[in-house]
Structure 1
Amino acid sequence: MQESFSIGDLGRLTGCQVVTIRYYEKIGILAEPGRSGGGHRIYGPEHRDRLTFVRKARELGFSLDTVRSLLSLSETPEGTPCADVDHIASRHLVDVREKIAALKSLEGTLEGLLDICSHTTVEQCRVLDALRD
């Protein structure tokens, strides 16, 4: 007999919120499950495995569109070069590095604002002055 899970069980097994599981079904990332006689969703191991893949990809910062591409590639592995996946991951790495650079710039700006702060009163606050200018 095949394993089956309720939506709550699937959420606990994969670390996904129930609302996220329903959303993924709605947008077609996760196949609609079968239903019990009472109308409750019944998920199988294939749902668990796919949802785990999606969650891990999202934790790495891949967009849902990119997750779709990765899922598509993973579903047709025979004859598909790994370079296709590498290309997607490399593009994402470039994006991550750009975000890190932007955050480091932001960090420097905030440090600079705090360095010029005279720590007196809000009325004389240099941080607030900088936000107004």
Structure 2
Amino acid sequence: MSQLRIGELANRLGCSVETLRYYEREGLLQATGRSGNGYRFYNHQSERQLAFILRAKTMGFSLEDIRELLAIRVDPTANSCGDVRSIAESKLAQVDRKLAELQAMRDALSKVVHACCGGDVPADHCSILHALEPEEPAMERAR
């Protein structure tokens, strides 16, 4: 079985050497050996595990989620598909909340952009700047 040095593995999967070292420090990935001069070596299983980690990251899983998924992957009979689904559903709910926040942000921004004339009037009359100004505190309004 061929061994890959850290740079070769990083290049193969499109990540940085620092990312690999970070995952190693976090306990998500292990080098299968080291050369006499300290180069890390990885085998095919390491490559598959790194691909799994990177794919999970692109789906938004946290390192803690990935750690949990890797543990299940190593011993799949100790957990059920429902356990894995529960982790994924939790992530999906988190993504849905974030999307709702982003949609609300977009709606608010769209409203002020459409209200702006965008013309050559001085910026002190700009409706976007006015919309961003805080309201006066109640004490100042009472004066």
Q: Whole-Å Cα distance in 2 between the matches of residues 23 and 69 of structure 1?
A: 17
How far 1:56 moved relative to its partner? 0.3
Provide the alpha-carbon RMSD of the alignment. 1.5
Instruction: After superposing the two structures, state which structure 1 stretch, 116-125 or 86-95, moved more.
Output: 116-125
Structure 1: 4+ residue segments shifted above 3 A: 120-123
> For 1:11-41, what per-residue CA distance to the aligned partner results, in whole angstroms no more than 9, with x for missing partners?
1222222111111111111114421122211
Q: How many residues align?
A: 132
Structure 2 residue runs of 5 or longer lacking an equivalent are 135-143
What is the CA–CA distance in structure 1 between the aligned matches of 2:82 and 2:75, rounded to whole Å? 14
Structure 1 CA distance, aligned partners of 2:7 and 2:130?
50
Return 40-49 or 61-70, whichever deviates more: 40-49
TM-score normalised by length of structure 1:
0.90
State the partner residue of 1:87: 86
Structure 1 unaligned blocks of 5 or more: none
- Greater Rg over alpha carbons, structure: 2
Provide TM-score, normalisation by structure 2: 0.85
1:10, 1:128 → 2: CA distance?
50
Cα distance in 1, alignment partners of residues 78 and 60 from structure 2: 27
- Summarize the alignment of residues 24-63 of structure 1 with structure 2, pairs less than 5 Å apart: 24-63=23-62
Q: Following TM superposition, by how much is the alpha carbon of 1:118 offset from its aligned partner in structure 2, in angstroms?
A: 2.1
Cα distance, 1:50 vs structure 2: 0.7
Give the whole-Å Cα distance in 2 for the aligned partners of 1:32 and 1:132. 54
Aligned to 1:131: 132
State the secondary structure of the residue aligned to 1:102. helix
- Find the aligned partners of 1:132 and 1:26 in 2 and give their Cα distance: 46
Aligned amino acid, residue 99 of structure 2: I
Instruction: Flag the 1:124–1:33 CA change in 2: closer, same or farther, 3 A.
Output: farther
Displacement of 1:79 in angstroms is 4.5
2:4 aligned counterpart, secondary structure: coil
- Give the 5 Å matches for 1:13-24: 13-24=12-23
CA–CA distance in 2 between the matches of 1:122 and 1:11?
A: 50
Q: Which amino acid aligns with 2:74?
A: E
